[in-house]
Amino acid sequence: MKVNGTPKLTCATFLADYLPGPIRVEPLDYFPVVRDLVVDLTDFMRKLKQVKPWIIRKEEKAPGNGEYLQTPDQLDTYKQFSMCINCMLCYSACPIYGLEPSFIGPAAIALAQRYNMDSRDEGAAERLKILSEHDGIWQCTFVGECTKVCPKHVDPAGAIQQYKLTGATNWVKSLLLPWSTR
């Protein structure tokens, strides 16, 4: 919810921090209000599914052939982005999502980046294609409010910038080395 105009995780917000008052509690911005403080997250759930936030493998191991193991360093590569709790504070703080509701949004992009950085995943190119479309990463103007309000320190703005770098690099490679992108 919003507390005095700022998106907050209200279960972890202390009223004493806002004394002597007054305290204003409102529903999150940019989401349809169902009732009182409850908002409809259908748009986010559709966008989240679109970025395929799961491990994609070209070939799966046969059952009984072992697990996909990772080192602690490989886990550390993406752990920050896996801490997202889908609280939607980043969407409520994002002025781009407010102006362009079709923007796929910070949490969905951060979760896509989480899987791209996972050593077991092979779906990065597929996600980049989806996120490079009109409503994806290029809509973000890097205001950074999404990262400021994140209670779990996920840094969705950083994930978006990493995606932009990857997208730009792939585009330049396609111009200079067109045969390597087929």
Kindly list the structural domains of the chain, giving each domain's residue range(s) and its CATH number in brackets, ordered by start: 41-57+68-181 (1.10.1060.10)
Provide the β-strand partners of residue 124: none
What does each C-alpha distance from 135 to 31, 88, 97, 129 come to in angstroms?
17, 18, 10, 12
Residue-wise pLDDT tens digits, 54-92:
999 999 888 888 888 999 999 999 999 999 999 999 999
- Residue tagged 């886990």 (tokens): 75
Residue-wise pLDDT tens digits, 105-121:
999 999 999 999 999 99
> Can you tell me the distance from the alpha carbon of 76 to that of 32, in angstroms, rounded to the nearest whole number?
36
| Predicted structure pTM score | 0.90
